[in-house]
């Protein structure tokens, strides 16, 4: 009996140990990049493809001259999204975040990786189908022209990302190639323009006047200000400056709309810093922070790519995080301590376009394998930011900013012919001696919009000088050539 008990204990330990490592720890072991099984799968199993919204392969497989499997990237402009996979350098982008699915280590079969060893097809790679049209992505990259900047376009009603571009970019095929990977990576790292930085999701920028949309959400949403609110001293302050806590805040230089106090639409059209500084002060620090949180500016989103959170204030200090009323007033027109990514500002525009409802952004529409199994990413609502009435008032003001009588020096260049267009330009002032960042955010059509967009071009001057025409051309191209609903 004693021998039997010892043998039973030994067998039980073997069974428990095998079960623990083979099943309970199957996931963590598979996730470990040092797992030899993963290296074997990478060498022997054809990796899943990444396809754009039309089904065009943007990342696929081929055989190299030495017979090794090689990854092929047809559209370098998609590198911001796809990233790369390399035997020497590892993975980046969606190639990293969906590595287990693309490699077949964790497919769409019921039970996933835990039951993989019991199946007759243990490694079934998954294809990713994106929400992005590679042709539209290429156009956005081409319009940026190699300048440092980014473009993010979103379908407002679903959150589907239509373009996510960062320039200057890189060629993922050269990072995947064993012969060129190390030298090319070293060159990219030395480049002062930082081509490996994803400016669309990790570039933190002073937003300038495009942030006035957030101020409008805070001020109108809190009830502190209405669309018809005017400030009696604003005309004089637009000429001489607004003094707050001993700091003089200046309006954008202009020669029009100085003879009377402006309302929301008029202030948006001529981009009055003074009006929006007053609106931020009337709303108060907590309302500004609450609006920023509802819009997701203080968080990151799970789209499969690294992302940074933005900020509205300097952190420590009085007034709910704002160091002073001057800082709060400056935040009202996107200066002070405000920092955002282009993705954040595209989501702000999309929420206003979607009647005040913020949708979760997504890059992958669905995953599918060769066995016909499919997983789809449906729209997800993150919450209501403002009421439909407030969103409508801000939409009307943004339309005035593009189509109004005095709009041409500001966002007028984004007008899509034959379509009512909404938008806001931005000139983000930087340190002395640095040229401002050029910004544009907007959507079209103004009613029932199918695209919301954010464009930033670093150190390119005023919004009208660079970002506005790019945003206008991209919205026009989407509506005329790429929008599947209009074909």
Q: What is the pLDDT of residue 38?
A: 55
202-365+377-486 — its CATH code?
A: 3.40.710.10
CA 279 to each of CA 213, 269, 276, 317, 400: distance values in angstroms, whole numbers, following the listed order = 11, 16, 5, 21, 19
Residue with tokens 């942030």: 211
Q: How far apart are CA 79 and CA 99, in angstroms?
A: 16
- Mean pLDDT confidence for 421-436: 93
Structure tokens at 302: 């799970």
* pLDDT tens digits, one per residue of 125-141: 899 999 999 999 999 99
The mean pLDDT of the chain is 89
Would you tell me how many other CB atoms lie within 10 Å of the CB of residue 329? Answer: 26
The answer to whether 338 touches 347, Cβ cutoff 8 Å, is no
Lowest mean pLDDT among 211-220, 318-327, 328-337, 350-359: 318-327
* Neighbouring residues of 1: CB distance < 8 A, sequence distance ≥ 6: none
* pLDDT tens digits, one per residue of 281-308: 999 999 999 999 999 999 999 999 999 9
Lowest mean pLDDT among 86-90, 142-146, 382-386: 86-90
Q: What is the pLDDT of residue 319?
A: 47
Residue with tokens 């059209």: 269
Strands (DSSP E) found in 191-245? 242-244
Confidence check: pLDDT of 21 > 70: no
Q: What is the pLDDT of residue 9?
A: 82
* pLDDT tens digits, one per residue of 259-277: 999 999 999 999 999 999 9
Lowest mean pLDDT among 67-71, 107-111, 418-422: 107-111
Lowest mean pLDDT among 70-79, 261-270, 358-367, 415-424: 70-79
Q: What is the pLDDT of residue 316?
A: 47
- Mean pLDDT confidence for 175-203: 94
Lowest mean pLDDT among 27-41, 293-307, 341-355, 463-477: 27-41
Ordered by start, the domain boundaries in the chain are 202-365+377-486
- What confidence tier does 322 reach under pLDDT thresholds 50, 70, 90? confident
- Say which residue, 322 or 449, is predicted with more confidence: 449
452 sits in which H/E element: strand 451-457
- Mean pLDDT confidence for 209-216: 97
* Model confidence, pTM: 0.89
Q: How far apart are CA 298 and CA 35, in angstroms?
A: 36
Lowest mean pLDDT among 101-110, 248-257, 334-343, 437-446: 101-110
Q: In 3D, which of 98, 158, 163 has the Cα closest to residue 133?
A: 163
User: Quick one: what percent of the chain has pLDDT higher than 90?
Assistant: 72
Q: What is the pLDDT of residue 199?
A: 97
Handedness of CA 87, 92, 96, 102 (dihedral sign): negative
The answer to whether 126 touches 48, Cβ cutoff 8 Å, is yes
Q: What is the pLDDT of residue 104?
A: 83
Give 312's DSSP letter.
Answer: S
* pLDDT tens digits, one per residue of 355-410: 999 999 999 999 998 877 888 888 999 999 999 999 999 999 999 999 999 999 99
Confidence check: pLDDT of 156 > 60: yes
Q: How far apart are CA 60 and CA 41, in angstroms?
A: 16
């Amino acid at each position: 009996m004693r021998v039997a008990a010892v043998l039973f204990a030994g067998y039980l330990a073997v069974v428990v140990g095998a079960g623990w490592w083979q099943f309970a720890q199957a996931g963590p072991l598979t996730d470990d990049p040092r797992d030899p099984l993963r290296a074997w799968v990478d060498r022997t199993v054809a990796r899943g493809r990444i396809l754009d919204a039309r089904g065009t392969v943007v990342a696929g497989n081929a055989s190299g001259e030495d017979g090794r499997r090689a990854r092929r990237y047809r559209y370098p402009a998609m590198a911001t999204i796809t990233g790369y996979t390399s035997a020497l350098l590892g993975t980046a982008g969606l190639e990293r975040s969906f590595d287990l699915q693309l490699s077949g280590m964790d497919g769409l079969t019921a039970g996933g990786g835990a039951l993989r060893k019991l199946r007759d097809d243990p490694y079934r790679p998954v294809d990713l189908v994106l929400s992005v049209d590679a042709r539209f992505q290429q156009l956005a990259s081409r319009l940026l022209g190699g300048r440092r900047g980014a473009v993010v376009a979103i379908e407002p009603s679903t959150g589907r990302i239509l373009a996510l571009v960062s320039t200057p970019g890189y060629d993922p095929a050269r990072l995947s190639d064993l012969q060129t990977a190390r030298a090319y990576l070293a060159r990219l790292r030395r480049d002062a323009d930082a081509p490996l930085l994803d400016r669309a999701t990790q570039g933190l920028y002073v937003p300038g006047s495009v942030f006035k949309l957030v101020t409008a959400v805070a001020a109108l949403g809190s009830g502190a200000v209405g669309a018809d609110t005017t400030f009696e001293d604003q005309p004089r302050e637009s000429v001489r400056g607004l003094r707050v806590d001993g700091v003089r805040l200046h309006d954008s230089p202009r020669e029009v709309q100085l003879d009377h106090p402006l309302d929301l639409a008029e202030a948006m059209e001529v981009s009055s810093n003074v009006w929006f500084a007053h609106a931020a002060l009337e709303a108060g620090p907590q309302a500004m922070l609450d609006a920023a949180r509802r819009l997701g500016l203080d968080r990151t989103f799970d789209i499969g790519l690294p992302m940074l959170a933005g900020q509205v204030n300097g952190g420590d200090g009085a007034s709910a995080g704002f160091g002073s009323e001057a800082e709060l007033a400056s935040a009202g027109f996107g200066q002070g301590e405000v920092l955002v990514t282009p993705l954040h500002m595209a989501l702000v525009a999309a929420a206003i376009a979607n009647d005040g409802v913020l949708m979760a952004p997504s890059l992958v529409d669905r995953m599918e394998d060769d066995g016909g199994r499919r997983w789809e990413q449906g729209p997800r609502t993150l919450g209501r930011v403002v009421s439909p009435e407030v969103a409508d008032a801000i939409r009307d003001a943004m339309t005035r900013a593009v189509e109004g009588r005095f709009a041409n020096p500001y966002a007028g260049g984004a007008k899509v012919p034959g379509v009512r267009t909404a938008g806001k330009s931005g000139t983000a002032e930087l340190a002395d001696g640095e040229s401002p960042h050029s910004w544009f955010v907007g959507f079209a059509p103004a009613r029932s919009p199918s695209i919301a967009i954010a464009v930033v071009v670093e150190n390119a001057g005023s919004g009208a000088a660079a970002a506005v025409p790019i945003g206008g051309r991209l919205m026009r191209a989407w509506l005329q050539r790429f929008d599947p609903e209009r074909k």
